């Protein structure tokens, strides 16, 4: 399926001494290859053939929401009135952009139940960091000295990392039956608590049923409730973070709203708040002014800026197109995602896979492959073997509370036939000779990559080779 050739590095393809003694400039040596367009295209096409994208096949990475990226989104951003627009142009010459930003904010408010949004954060973690800085500003404004942020042990790693970056101490609480342990939460809450960060459904794909009680306890402690929107794809139109009692939300447009992941980014992590936090949102805010729109920097309590301009505009525009295309049928997106996840979970259970904390799930679920350990097979091995069957493997070893975790999120876009063929592959693998599984992958451009050596002997540029 994927090309099995090797491709030389760019600097191995062409002359690279980069000596320019003839020019009258300070820098005499610029050691970059000089190649023809034909050579460059060939190089990158060969590289692309050694990479697995969504259009190649099933990509059930848990917590990452790898849905199909509609080609429509790629077309609308090619408009010259986006590509060739400078962020510091006069407002009267960027009314289209401002209108789109404003409308997107409004639609995100509707979907999440928030009162106001900032589209400036460039990624989910950046949205979390923004939310934590607003939390800080909120308590400073109130003259309260709160130093702690609570996160469940099942939380995404970005949650504690973002809280820490904003200067908070992180208090991690254990889970009980795959959900927030209410006793542990109550024990952790105090007048020191600034916020509790939670994703719901959580990283096991379980809806935190006690969310009303959680919200009340957090509110009684005087703290804020933060919603990690990584799993929003499960609940659109069914409930919302606002209704659940959250104060701050970030959403990942590259997950729920269909913008491509770009091999790691760019994504976008807009952050939404309830009314009492609106004054702290980053500047500029996009505001209505007469018949048009303006950028408002005059917000004395704003935390200031989080990125150079107004966020990843081309990503925001893609998400805007996605939401327009889906409209009020976004609810069906969540329904379909949840049906697919539950179907796939039951099918995998039927062929013998173990689902800890077994119960109905929302958009994703987590298997434990611990029972394969006695055969000497690890979750990592099964993941690599799936590659041979043409599937991108699920997320492995996360969340940390499940041994040999295998986290599966099929998304709404996959057909029953695709899900069934994935089950067949999983069923085949469990019965295969363990040496075949442990030696996987066998049909990729490279064999199992030695990641340990990359750490021990750090070769980070072509000069190091």
Partner 1 sequence: MEDMLTYLGIESIDELFEDIPEKMRTGGLALPDAMEEREVEERIRALLAENKSFFEMPSFLPILKPHYIPPAVDEIVARQEFYTSYTPYQAEASQGMLQALFEYQSVVAELTGMEVANVSMYDSATALGEAALMAHRITGRKKILVPRAMFWHKRSVLENYARGAALEIIEIDHGEDGLMKLNFSGDDIAAIYIENPNFFGIIDRRYDELSKIKERTGALLIAGIDPLHLALFHPPSHYHADIVIGEGYLGNPMNFGGPLLGIFASKKQYLRQMPGRIIGATVDREGKRAFCMTLQTREQHIRRGKATSNICSNQALCCISFLAYVALLGSGGLRGVALQNMENAHYMAERLKEVGFEMPFDAPFFNEFVVTCPLEGKELNKRLLARGMYGGLPIDRYVAKGMLFGVTEMHTRELMDEAVETMVEVVA
Residues numbered 176-205 forming contacts with partner 1, rule: CB under 8 A: none
Q: Give the residue with the Cβ less far from partner 1, 189 or 320.
A: 320
Q: Which residue has the tokens 């992958």?
A: 441
Give least dist CB 419 to partner 1, A: 8
Q: How far is the CB of 88 from partner 1 (least distance, A)?
A: 5
Question: According to the binding rule CB under 8 A, does residue 97 interact with partner 1?
Answer: yes
Give the CA distances from residue 296 to residues 263, 283, 293, 322, in Å, rounded to whole numbers and listed in that order: 34, 7, 9, 27
- Interface stretch with partner 1, choices 180-188, 220-228, 330-338, 426-434 (CB under 8 A): 330-338
**Residue 156 in tokens:** 């995404």
Q: Scanning residues 119 to 178, which ones bind partner 1 (CB under 8 A)?
A: 122-126, 128-129, 133, 136, 156-158, 160-168, 170, 172
β-strand partners of 150: 171, 196
Taking the complex as a whole, how short is the minimal distance between the CB of residue 441 and partner 1, in angstroms?
5
Q: Is 436 in the site for partner 1 (CB under 8 A)?
A: no
List the interface residues with partner 1, window 17-76 (CB under 8 A).
18, 20, 23, 25-27, 30-35, 37, 40-41, 43-56, 59, 61, 64, 66, 69, 72, 74-76
Nearest distance in Å: CB 192, partner 1? 16
Map the footprint of partner 1 across residues 383-422, applying CB under 8 A.
383-384, 387, 392-393, 398, 416
Q: How far is the CB of 375 from partner 1 (least distance, A)?
A: 20
Counting contacts by CB under 8 A, is residue 360 touching partner 1? yes
Q: Which residue, 198 or 206, is less far from partner 1 as judged by CB?
A: 206
Cα(395)–Cα(407) distance, integer angstroms: 5
- Min separation Cβ 99 and partner 1, Å: 5
Q: Which of 181, 222, 266, 375 binds partner 1 (CB under 8 A)?
A: 266
Burial 242-280 (b: 16+ CB within 10 A, else e): bebbbbbbbbbbbbbbbbbbeeeebbbbbbbbbeebbbb
Nearer to partner 1, 20 or 176 (CB): 20
Of the candidate spans 187-195, 273-281, 401-409, 440-448, the one that interacts with partner 1 by CB under 8 A turns out to be 440-448
Q: How many Cβ atoms are within 10 Å of 14's Cβ, its own excluded? A: 15
Listed in sequence order, the residues at least 6 apart from 335 whose beta carbon sits closer than 8 Å to its beta carbon are 412
Location of structure tokens 């055969």: 375
CB atoms within 10 A of CB 164: 14
- Does 258 interact with partner 1 (rule: CB under 8 A)? no
Nearest distance from C-beta of residue 191 to partner 1, angstroms: 21
Residue 74 or 220: which CB sits closer to partner 1? 74
* Min CB(198)–partner 1 separation in Å: 14
User: What span, in angstroms and rounded, lies between the C-alpha atoms of 283 and 116?
Assistant: 13
Which secondary-structure segment (H or E) carries 333? helix 330-350
Considering only 147, 176, 187, 212, the residue that binds partner 1 (CB under 8 A) is 212
Based on CB atoms, which residue is closest to partner 1, 374 or 434? 434
Residue 186 C-beta: closest distance to partner 1, Å: 19
Q: Does 317 bind partner 1 (CB under 8 A)?
A: yes
Nearest one of 231, 161, 160, 230 to 196, comparing CA atoms: 160
| Residue ranges in 270-309 that form contacts with partner 1 under rule CB under 8 A | 303-309
C-alpha to C-alpha distance for 41 and 47, rounded to whole angstroms: 10
3-class secondary-structure state, position 200: coil
CA angle 234, 240, 242 (to 5 degrees): 150
Q: Which is nearer to partner 1, 428 or 453 (CB)?
A: 453
Alpha helices (H) along 114-264 = 124-141, 158-165, 182-188, 211-220, 241-244
For partner 1 (CB under 8 A), the number of binding residues is 183
Q: Which residues pair with 296 in a beta bridge?
A: 285
Q: Which part of the chain contacts partner 1 (CB under 8 A), choosing from 181-189, 258-266, 369-377, 403-411?
A: 258-266
Residue 118 in tokens: 């900032």
Give the contacts of 60 (CB within 8 A, at least 6 positions apart). Answer: 66, 344, 391, 392, 393, 394, 408, 409, 410, 411, 414, 422
State the minimum distance, in angstroms, from the CB of residue 432 to partner 1.
18
Query: Which of helix, strand or coil describes residue 116?
Result: strand
Nearer to partner 1, 89 or 428 (CB): 89
């Amino acid at each position: 399926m994927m090309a099995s050739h090797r491709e030389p590095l760019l600097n191995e393809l062409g002359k690279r001494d980069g000596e320019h003694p003839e020019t009258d400039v300070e820098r005499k040596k610029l050691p970059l290859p000089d190649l023809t367009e034909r050579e460059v295209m060939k190089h990158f096409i060969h590289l692309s053939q050694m990479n697995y994208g969504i259009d190649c096949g099933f990509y059930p990475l848990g917590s990452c929401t790898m849905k199909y990226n509609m080609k429509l989104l790629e077309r609308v951003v090619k408009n010259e009135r986006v590509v060739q627009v400078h962020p510091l142009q006069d407002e009267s010459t960027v009314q289209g952009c401002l209108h789109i930003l404003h409308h997107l904010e409004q639609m995100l408010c509707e979907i999440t139940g928030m009162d106001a949004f900032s589209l400036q954060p460039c990624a989910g973690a950046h949205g979390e960091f923004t939310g934590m800085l607003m939390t800080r500003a909120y308590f400073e404004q109130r003259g309260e000295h709160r130093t702690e942020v609570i996160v469940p042990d099942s939380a995404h790693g970005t949650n504690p990392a973002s809280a820490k970056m904003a200067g908070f101490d992180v208090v991690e609480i254990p889970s009980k039956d795959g959900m927030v342990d209410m006793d542990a939460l109550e024990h952790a809450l105090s007048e020191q608590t600034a916020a509790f960060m939670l994703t719901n459904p959580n990283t096991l794909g379980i809806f935190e049923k006690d969310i009303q009680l959680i919200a009340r306890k957090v509110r009684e402690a005087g703290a804020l409730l933060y919603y990690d929107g990584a799993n929003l794809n499960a609940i659109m139109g069914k409930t919302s973070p606002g209704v659940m009692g959250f104060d701050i939300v970030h959403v990942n447009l590259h997950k729920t709203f269909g913008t491509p992941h770009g091999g790691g980014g760019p994504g976008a992590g807009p952050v939404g708040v309830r009314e009492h936090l609106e004054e702290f949102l980053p500047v500029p805010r996009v505001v209505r002014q007469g018949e048009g729109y303006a950028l408002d920097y005059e917000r004395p309590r704003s935390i200031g800026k989080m990125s150079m301009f107004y966020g990843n505009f081309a990503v925001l525009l893609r998400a805007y197109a996605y939401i327009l295309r889906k409209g009020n049928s976004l609810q069906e997106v969540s329904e379909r995602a949840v049906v697919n996840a539950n179907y796939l979970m039951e099918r995998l259970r039927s062929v013998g896979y173990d689902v800890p904390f077994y119960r109905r799930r929302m958009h994703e679920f987590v298997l434990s492959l611990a029972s394969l350990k006695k055969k000497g097979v690890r979750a990592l091995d099964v993941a690599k073997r799936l590659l041979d069957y043409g599937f991108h493997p699920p997320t492995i070893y996360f969340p940390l509370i499940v041994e040999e975790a295998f986290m599966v999120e099929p998304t709404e876009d996959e057909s029953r036939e695709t899900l069934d063929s994935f089950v067949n592959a999983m069923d085949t693998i469990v019965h295969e000779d363990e040496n075949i599984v442990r030696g996987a992958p066998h049909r990729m451009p490279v064999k199992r990559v030695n990641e340990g050596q990359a750490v021990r002997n750090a070769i980070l540029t072509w000069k190091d080779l």
